[in-house]
A = this chain, B = another copy of it.
Amino acid sequence: MKLADPLNCSVAATLEIIGEGWTLLIIREAFLGTRRFADFQHHLGIARNILSDRLKKLTRHGILKRAPIGPGAKRHDYRLTEKGRELLPLLVALTQWGDRWINPDSAPLTMIDRRDGKPIRPLRIQAADGRPLTLHDLALAPGPGATEATRTRLKTLRDEH
């Protein structure tokens, strides 16, 4: 994916880091507790050079961090940082969409609340006060980082509607 100009968009910015199949699968593995190079490689069946490249990229972006495997060990492994753990809602969104639209009635894994064993609720978009919102309840406003182009585009959008 070779962006001509920056799109001034957090979706695009995020995808430049994790917008590629293996990267998110590596992150998923990390959420499952995988830390070692060889384990990522076995579980995913990814080529070693690609894995090496992606682990470097994720580390460079602070999503994974290298840490000694044990106290005093010289080898290291890869662990999720806070920045990485905050990708959980993204993984949940991917899982829930896949469960519904690709594997309906045959979800491979269910995320449950450890406390009561019940499946978690589907993600919802909510207003500040918690009301659920649909697509039609949403609008876009320029944020503090909006460029002039973004502002113009937004106006065009509003005129269309």
A residues at B contact (CB < 8 Å) = 1, 3-5, 7-17, 19-22, 24-25, 28, 31-33, 44-45, 83, 85-103, 105-121, 123-128, 130-131, 133, 135-147, 150, 154, 157, 160-161
The reply to whether B121 and A130 contact each other, CB–CB distance below 8 Å, is yes
The reply to whether B21 and A109 contact each other, CB–CB distance below 8 Å, is no
* Contact partners of A9 in chain B: CB under 8 A: 28, 98, 108-109
* Contact partners of A123 in chain B: CB under 8 A: 89, 93, 123, 125
The reply to whether A102 and B14 contact each other, CB–CB distance below 8 Å, is yes
Complex CA distance for A20 and B1, rounded to whole angstroms = 8
The reply to whether B141 and A94 contact each other, CB–CB distance below 8 Å, is no
The reply to whether A138 and B125 contact each other, CB–CB distance below 8 Å, is no
Q: Which residue on B lies nearest to A123, using beta carbons? A: B89
Complex CA distance for A5 and B127, rounded to whole angstroms = 41
Q: Which of A14, A83, A125, A139 has the most CB of B within 10 A?
A: A14
Q: List 12 A-B contacts (CB under 8 A).
A: A10-B99, A10-B102, A11-B28, A11-B95, A13-B102, A15-B21, A19-B21, A89-B96, A89-B123, A112-B140, A116-B128, A120-B128
Q: Which of A22, A109, A118, A119 has the most CB of B within 10 A?
A: A109
Neighbour of A109 across the interface among B103, B120, B141, CB < 8 A: B141
Complex CA distance for A13 and B37, rounded to whole angstroms = 23
Complex CA distance for A109 and B8, rounded to whole angstroms = 8
* Contact partners of A16 in chain B: CB under 8 A: 21
